Amino acid sequence: MHPRTHHKITTRSIDYEKPPVNELEYHADFWRNKAQDTLSQKLLEKHNTNIAKNVIMFLGDGMSIPTLKASRVYLGQLRNQSGEETVLSFEEFPYIGLSKTYCVDRQVPDSACTATAYLGGVKNNDATIGVTAAVALQDCDASLLDENRVMSIGKWSQDKGKRTGFVTTTRVTHASPAGVYAHTADRDWESDADDVPANCKDIAYQLIYDDIGSKLNVIMGGGRRNFIPKTLTDEEGDAGKRKDENLIQTWIKSKEGKNARYVWNKQDLLNVSNDTEYLLGLFESDHCKYHLDAEDNDPSLAEMTTKAIEILSNGNNGYFLFVEGGRIDHAHHDTKAQKALDETVEFHKAIQTAVEMTDEEDTLIVVTSDHAHTMSISGYGVRGNNIFGSPGNADDALPYSTLTYANGPGYRKEVDGKRSDTSQDITSKYNQDNNNLRFLTICAASVLNLK
């Protein structure tokens, strides 16, 4: 019998006694039986040859393979488990594969060219949406040519009489959701205040007025500022950006005589009737809040997904729904590892919700990512070690972080030839630049002589 050991692990969201290893794991039969169970399950699975009536596409923006690994551990540790054995909801799907990502003009893609690829099936240039690679960045005139426009699965679904919609934790005019409905030579042309050429329309305008956007049954996310004039403030007192009109009011007027609702908070969203035909939900002036920062008025991604499915399911011909966990990406950009992992867990919850609400006999659910980030998992931490902690000391006798970033904020120069001592970091503060750069980037910066 092996001794049981307990270690206290404490962070902002994790406070648990690290559980002992399951003693059955010390025996070979435990693992062989698990393997046989998996094989038996796979042999019993039958190929689903049905034609999908409904399609739900989940996109984890910036959700790399190391993010999945770390998020499993994080989720397990939230449950007072060691974490490594945890499985995310979509990792139990029967089929899995890898995608190769790049833009026509870039080795590493952004969320604009990838959105065009996975929603429209066409690769194009960095920072452009819904257009071919014949359109260079900010080439407004080229983006207006019919032969340079790429239609998305949103358009194809509408042409088949299906209900359509999207849910995102970013602004609804951000790159990924814009791939459903917009055609633009610059992803940053979100409102008419963004130096958009006179002969081109901004993304918010396209969402309200153009053929695809105006027909969407469900639109949910953040970004109110791109829909109201700068002379007005929204429900929470934040100023708008637009120079022309109040697009929220335009949307409301365009839906007169139809069962349509505009909502801006969680309570109103939950009270929306399921027989609503059109729903516009804008829950923040900018991006939706991170889950760890959310307040009572802020709906979760799972709650938005639930309402979207309820509304879209009322159509006679099925539906297409796009759901983005967009703030995984933003947290990684800011090297806030705890928020990135927590947003991934929220993404996992939304997918589980969709699985429970639908039937695989008529609904296809696809989960993917658009690109990765430079977060890596380092070292040989003991089983159940705090995912935001240190797996041990490096050769210089100083600790290093399990999670590290190769770029982003937080770089610290060496002092007297020594790198920063990460044991002095307070990783329990989830707004801190979690565990970033400490080792990998410092070494790279030394080589590159970064200032």
pLDDT of 137-167, one tens digit each? Answer: 999 999 999 999 999 999 999 999 999 999 9
pLDDT-derived band at 17 (thresholds 50, 70, 90) equals: low
Q: Is residue 441 pLDDT above 60, yes or no?
A: no
pLDDT-derived band at 415 (thresholds 50, 70, 90) equals: confident
- DSSP labels, 37-87: HHHHHHHH-----PPPSEEEEEEETT--HHHHHHHHHHHHHHTTS-STT--
Name the binding residues for Mg(2+). 61, 174, 176, 324
Our count of domains for the chain comes to 2
Beta-strand runs (E) in 238-326: 260-263, 278-282, 319-325
Range of the domain at 123: 54-373
Phi first, then psi: what are they for 139, rounded to 5°? -85, 85
Q: Is residue 59 pLDDT above 70, yes or no?
A: yes
Name the binding residues for Zn(2+). 61, 329, 333, 370-371
- Structural domain ending residue among the three candidates 332, 349, 373: 373
Round to whole Å and give the CA distance between 426 and 397.
19
Region 343-353: mean pLDDT is 98
Domain contains 42:
no
77 and 216 together in one domain: yes
Round to whole Å and give the CA distance between 134 and 273.
44
Q: How many CB atoms neighbour CB 47 within 10 A? A: 7
Mean of the per-residue pLDDT values of the chain: 91
299 and 391 together in one domain: no
Name the binding residues. 61, 174, 176, 324, 329, 333, 370-371
193 and 230 together in one domain: yes
Round to whole Å and give the CA distance between 96 and 100.
14
Q: Report the helix count and the strand count for the chain, using DSSP H and E.
A: 14, 13
Region 327-334: mean pLDDT is 97
Q: What is the pLDDT of residue 433?
A: 52
Round to whole Å and give the CA distance between 184 and 188.
9
**Residue whose token pair is 């998020």:** 71
402 and 429 together in one domain: yes
pLDDT-derived band at 428 (thresholds 50, 70, 90) equals: low
251 and 281 together in one domain: yes
Tokens, residue 75: 């989720």
Work out the burial of residue 8: count CB atoms within 10 Å of its CB; fewer than 13 is exposed, 13-18 middle, 19 or more buried.
exposed
pLDDT-derived band at 377 (thresholds 50, 70, 90) equals: very high
Spot the catalytic one: 111, 152, 378, 401: 111
Q: Is residue 5 pLDDT above 90, yes or no?
A: no
Region of poorest pLDDT, from 264-273, 296-305, 400-409, 440-449: 440-449
Q: What is the pLDDT of residues 23-36, one digit of tens each?
A: 999 999 999 999 99
Strand-by-strand arrangement of the 54-60 sheet: 260-263, 278-282, 218-222, 163-171, 319-325, 54-60, 363-369
Q: Is residue 358 pLDDT above 50, yes or no?
A: yes
- Structural domain ending residue among the three candidates 373, 399, 429: 373
Tokens, residue 79: 């449950």
Annotated catalytic residue 111: yes
Q: What is the pLDDT of residue 8?
A: 41
